[in-house]
Chains A and B, each alone.
Chain A
Amino acid sequence: MFGLTPPAPVMPRDFSACSGCSLCVLVCPMWRARRDPRFSAEGLAKAQQCGATAAELAAPIEACSLCGACDPVCPERIDLSGMIMGLRQRLTNSVPPRTPPPAVLGDLSAMLQKASGAPAAEGAVSRAAPVLLPGPDLRADAELLARVQALVGLVLFDDDGADIVLALELGVEIPHARLHGFLDALRGHSIVAADGLLLRQLRRWLPGSQRMSLGAALSTRAAVRSNLVPSDLYVIEPRAFHGDYERMVGYYDRLQRETGCSLSQDLQRIAIPATSSELGQKLGLVAGDDVQAKWLLQGRKPARIIVENLADRAAFRRVCEIPVLHVAELGEDPEMIKSRPHAFG
């Protein structure tokens, strides 16, 4: 198991430090879809250097998928996805609000309020026991969830924080009671979470806690690893990867060396997002596009595609005939699963 203590964080810098090197443009899915530098972290940083307001930058702020690919490549150590989340907050709070549409916003505040009043999710789970936050997509697939649980051997945590993730995405303020209730319930637990954005935030909110992405937790399992072969393309969930880049790049490098599979990385060793997942697409307001999935496959001919993220499975199934498996579907051998009690074992 890889060490879970994060290195001492180096203070991030803000947009004013942008030197215009464009390294963030190279990895940006919203740039790839448009080839217009305004739609990139550099474009947003430079425009702010020229005094642009959040409202003037609404289109790129909404188009950003918060994949976080720009963060680790920035030589000036600017917290770019943090900058964009901040811009989204400013945009959402602007009067009149530009996005999201009031209906979505209303639903979300109702969810947040309801959850603020709900009792904390612990109880059945003892403190310090590792917990699994599978997220709504995986919860909706009972069979796959059972397989995941068998592989990682962790207790399901009742509260996925889905409303918190949505609030983060939309730039909506999270009520204090809701956030603290959620974090207090998680405090002391080791956490495996499917949502990379949540993990990224947990790194800030619960410093020192043990956290792991679901993809990494599953791929540490011998039952999964032993079924990864050189003809596989392994598609990493980008948000969790970029949110903890220095550690994760080493982890997946070892996975690649040990199994021979190829990784969904570019030459900068950044995880290429398989879906653009722009805000409008997530809210179902705009049709999804498959630019990223096609780009990932260009020039590659894997026998199987192994995904950590369920949304990626759907995207690949739309664009190719290659079999697409969730990483949990690789773990077939129950004996191997028994050899280690759980993902943090």
Chain B
Amino acid sequence: MPAGVSSLLTSDQVSALKILPVEPGTVGPCPVASDALQGIKRQQTNPARWNGAGWEAFVAALRATGVELAEGPVACGVYATDAGGTAYGLPHGVVIAHSAAQVAALLKAAQTHRVPVTVRGGGLTTEGESVAFGGVLLDMTGMSRVLNIDATGLTVRTEAGIFWHGLAEELRREGLDYLSAPLNLTSSVGGTLGVGGIDVNSARLGCSADQAISLQVVTPTGEIVECSDSENAELFQRVILGYGQFGVITEATLRIRPYTPLAMRYFYYSSLRTAIEDLQMLDAADASDYSGILTIMDCAVNLLVAFDSDEREAAFRKNWKSKLRGYGEFGFALCMAGHYALRPWRIGEALYLLRRKREVFPEFRRPEYMRNGKMHDRTVVYSRAVWKHWGSRNMVIPDLATSTERFIEAVERGNAVCRRFFPHYTLYCVGIKLRPEHQAHYEMSCVPPGVQDRAYGCEFEPMIEGAVYSRDHFQSFKNAIYDIGVDMGASYYRFGGMMKGYIRRVFGDALVDKHLAMKRQADPAMILNRDVIF
């Protein structure tokens, strides 16, 4: 508060404002009141840049331990923003991770000198969570080697900065594959285990974070600790889906599986509700190995199902296919042609659909990825299509995660918001199988509170298409989607960074304060990813 203002207030008035004194170099309690964002079109929640107090002494101490730190625009420029492209900030210096010991030395020095450290894997966050507003940026992609593949036990031990694509590349040469990972190739294993990792097989196999068997973690005070459900379980629970608050993941042991190409089938719907009902019916019956919904428009909805084996597909054909209410490609084209023939004033929509179909569909059928009617390396096919047809310098992807029962309502309400803000957008819906024994991992995460068996997530992604929108427009859009979540008791995949004002609103003060107390204990100087969540 400016001194001039405080001097006008009595001490009672100041304490009534509940602004608690904050120790220099640390972050105080979340200043955003639980109803602060209601009705406010945009709330700028980027943290202030760290003031650099004691930087020189810290750098000297760090270099004395042999840790290399790069400074200047060339070293720092590559980290100026994340995939969202709306939060910008530069670190004072960059450390490329090479070993757990080096990360430990960094965190110890940072703890002593109270210098913030922001960890970054692929940097595919969208709310600035992996952007450093001063301090050190620790780039984990330097630690990106596969350490051991156990083809019999079906596990892999890898350094955590590895891109999922890098991991897939090495596993594939051994005829193996990971279980589930984000559809973007360049997110890292460590970054993903900290936030979730949803794939089109998550309705069956769960999220990436659930594939982790054990982790090597460097705690915020610089101890190197191995943890799992049976060893240092509490740390494991906090680090998994923990947004990098409780430690830096340096190595991970993950479940893997034999590689299979997949048979991909598409069904088209003109109703979002019907498509979601069918998706949920298939998921509940375990009728396919992969399932998800991707829309071109809310009246052109694509339900994809895919199979790892001919047997699974045969069972689907026998038991489930006839129950689906979607059309094949040709049938849907006829249906759409009829629809627009009766509504010629909506020709613009029809042309958009046609253009999108012409641009996007061939991407999923490129011959070099197809053999005998089956798709190989699906993540590459999807990821390349995602970047090519949905990617841009601004990726704004708010989402809602709910229980099965409340999902349709959430999607329909979110869809109405999208319509208000953008001419074109895509919705991506998937189920996420939950593991009862991992309930502790899910606390204060993207998994909605209280949901037991399967959650559903929907991403609302505007098509930017070269248009220029203000940050206010994006923020208002995100707020409108997140307000639905607050109203419905949902959760979000991306609740940190610029959206952290929602954390108390969705999870409640008691839970957030519990985690904040744990964070303060684990990270006394609050240096690690300090502005992301608290």
Cβ B168 vs Cβ A267 within 8 A = yes
A258 within 8 A of B: no
Cβ B387 vs Cβ A35 within 8 A = no
Cβ B141 vs Cβ A37 within 8 A = yes
Q: Which residues of A contact B76 (CB under 8 A)?
A: 50
A173 within 8 A of B: no
Taking the closest CB of chain A, its distance from the CB of B468, in whole angstroms, is 14
Interface positions of A from 41 to 61, Cβ below 8 Å from B: 42-43, 46-47, 49-52, 56-57
A94 within 8 A of B: no
Question: Contacts A46-B80, A50-B80, A298-B173 given: A268-B73 contact, CB under 8 Å?
Answer: no
Interface size of A by CB at 8 A reads 37
B48 within 8 A of A: no
Q: Which residues of A contact B518 (CB under 8 A)?
A: none
In Å, the complex CA distance between A320 and B24 comes to 59
Q: What is the 8 Å Cβ interface bit string for chain A, positions 118-160, against chain B (1 contact, 0 not)?
A: 0000000000000000000000000000000000000000000
Question: Contacts A19-B85, A47-B73 given: A267-B122 contact, CB under 8 Å?
Answer: no
Question: Contacts A19-B393, A21-B83, A22-B163 given: A52-B388 contact, CB under 8 Å?
Answer: no
Cβ B391 vs Cβ A21 within 8 A = yes
B142 within 8 A of A: yes
A288 within 8 A of B: no
A289 within 8 A of B: no
Q: What is the 8 Å Cβ interface bit string for chain B, positions 340-380, against chain A (1 contact, 0 not)?
A: 00000000000000000000000000011101000001001
B281 within 8 A of A: no
B172 within 8 A of A: yes
In Å, the complex CA distance between A230 and B28 comes to 64
Q: What is the 8 Å Cβ interface bit string for chain A, positions 268-298, against chain B (1 contact, 0 not)?
A: 1100000000000000000000000000001
Cβ A20 vs Cβ B141 within 8 A = no
Question: Contacts A35-B141, A299-B173 given: A23-B186 contact, CB under 8 Å?
Answer: yes
Cβ B96 vs Cβ A35 within 8 A = yes
Q: Which of B80, B169, B369 has the most CB of A within 10 A?
A: B169
A250 within 8 A of B: yes
Interface positions of B from 157 to 210, Cβ below 8 Å from A: 163, 165-166, 168-170, 172-174, 184-186
In Å, the complex CA distance between A266 and B169 comes to 7
B475 within 8 A of A: no
Cβ A52 vs Cβ B74 within 8 A = yes
Question: Contacts A36-B142, A46-B80, A268-B380 given: A22-B122 contact, CB under 8 Å?
Answer: yes
Cβ B186 vs Cβ A26 within 8 A = yes
Cβ B172 vs Cβ A267 within 8 A = yes
B384 within 8 A of A: yes
In Å, the complex CA distance between A37 and B138 comes to 12
B111 within 8 A of A: no
In Å, the complex CA distance between A85 and B141 comes to 26
Interface positions of B from 376 to 409, Cβ below 8 Å from A: 377, 380, 384, 387-388, 391-393, 395
A185 within 8 A of B: no
Q: Which residues of B contact A36 (CB under 8 A)?
A: 96, 142
Cβ B139 vs Cβ A37 within 8 A = yes
Q: Which residues of A contact B333 (CB under 8 A)?
A: none
Question: Contacts A38-B78, A50-B80 given: A26-B166 contact, CB under 8 Å?
Answer: yes
In Å, the complex CA distance between A18 and B77 comes to 13
Interface size of B by CB at 8 A reads 45
A25 within 8 A of B: yes
Question: Contacts A19-B391, A268-B384 given: A51-B73 contact, CB under 8 Å?
Answer: yes
Q: Which residues of B contact A17 (CB under 8 A)?
A: 393
Cβ A47 vs Cβ B77 within 8 A = yes
Q: Which residues of A contact B369 (CB under 8 A)?
A: 269
B211 within 8 A of A: no
Q: Which residues of B contact A23 (CB under 8 A)?
A: 185-186, 384, 387
Question: Contacts A25-B186, A38-B75, A46-B77 given: A267-B380 contact, CB under 8 Å?
Answer: yes
A330 within 8 A of B: no
B280 within 8 A of A: no
B155 within 8 A of A: no
The one of B78, B144, B165 that contacts A35, using a Cβ cutoff of 8 Å:
B144
Q: Which residues of B contact A46 (CB under 8 A)?
A: 77-78, 80
Q: Which residues of B contact A176 (CB under 8 A)?
A: none
Taking the closest CB of chain A, its distance from the CB of B157, in whole angstroms, is 16
Closest residue on chain A to residue B85 by CB atoms: A19
In Å, the complex CA distance between A190 and B93 comes to 53
Cβ A26 vs Cβ B165 within 8 A = yes
Q: What is the 8 Å Cβ interface bit string for chain A, positions 1-30, against chain B (1 contact, 0 not)?
A: 000000000000000011111110110000
B449 within 8 A of A: no
The one of B82, B169, B387 that contacts A267, using a Cβ cutoff of 8 Å:
B169
Cβ B388 vs Cβ A299 within 8 A = no
Closest residue on chain B to residue A52 by CB atoms: B74
A75 within 8 A of B: yes
Q: What is the 8 Å Cβ interface bit string for chain B, positions 393-434, against chain A (1 contact, 0 not)?
A: 101000000000000000000000000000000000000000
Taking the closest CB of chain A, its distance from the CB of B162, in whole angstroms, is 10
Q: Which residues of A contact B80 (CB under 8 A)?
A: 46, 49-50
Taking the closest CB of chain A, its distance from the CB of B373, in whole angstroms, is 14
Cβ A49 vs Cβ B123 within 8 A = no
Q: Which residues of B contact A25 (CB under 8 A)?
A: 141, 163, 186
B245 within 8 A of A: no
A300 within 8 A of B: yes
Q: Which residues of A contact B143 (CB under 8 A)?
A: 35
Taking the closest CB of chain B, its distance from the CB of A15, in whole angstroms, is 11
Cβ A43 vs Cβ B78 within 8 A = yes
Taking the closest CB of chain B, its distance from the CB of A182, in whole angstroms, is 34
The one of A37, A75, A253, A257 that contacts B78, using a Cβ cutoff of 8 Å:
A37
Question: Contacts A23-B186, A23-B384, A75-B387 given: A56-B74 contact, CB under 8 Å?
Answer: yes
A249 within 8 A of B: yes
Question: Contacts A21-B391, A75-B391 given: A299-B163 contact, CB under 8 Å?
Answer: no
Cβ A26 vs Cβ B163 within 8 A = yes
Q: Which residues of B contact A50 (CB under 8 A)?
A: 73-74, 76-77, 80
Cβ B393 vs Cβ A253 within 8 A = no
Closest residue on chain B to residue A22 by CB atoms: B186
Q: Which residues of B contact A47 (CB under 8 A)?
A: 73-74, 77-78
- Residues of B at the A interface (CB closer than 8 Å) are 72-78, 80-83, 85, 96, 122-123, 139, 141-144, 163, 165-166, 168-170, 172-174, 184-186, 367-369, 371, 377, 380, 384, 387-388, 391-393, 395
12 additional A-B pairs beyond A21-B387, A52-B73, beta carbons within 8 Å, are A19-B85, A19-B392, A23-B384, A25-B186, A35-B143, A38-B74, A47-B78, A56-B72, A76-B391, A267-B165, A298-B170, A299-B170
7 A–B contact pairs at CB < 8 A?
A19-B83, A19-B391, A26-B163, A26-B165, A35-B142, A47-B78, A300-B173
- Residues of A at the B interface (CB closer than 8 Å) are 17-23, 25-26, 35-38, 42-43, 46-47, 49-52, 56-57, 73, 75-76, 249-250, 253, 257, 266-269, 298-300
**Complex A-B, nearest 6 residue pairs according to Cβ-Cβ distance, in ascending order:** A299-B173, A50-B77, A22-B186, A75-B387, A46-B78, A75-B388
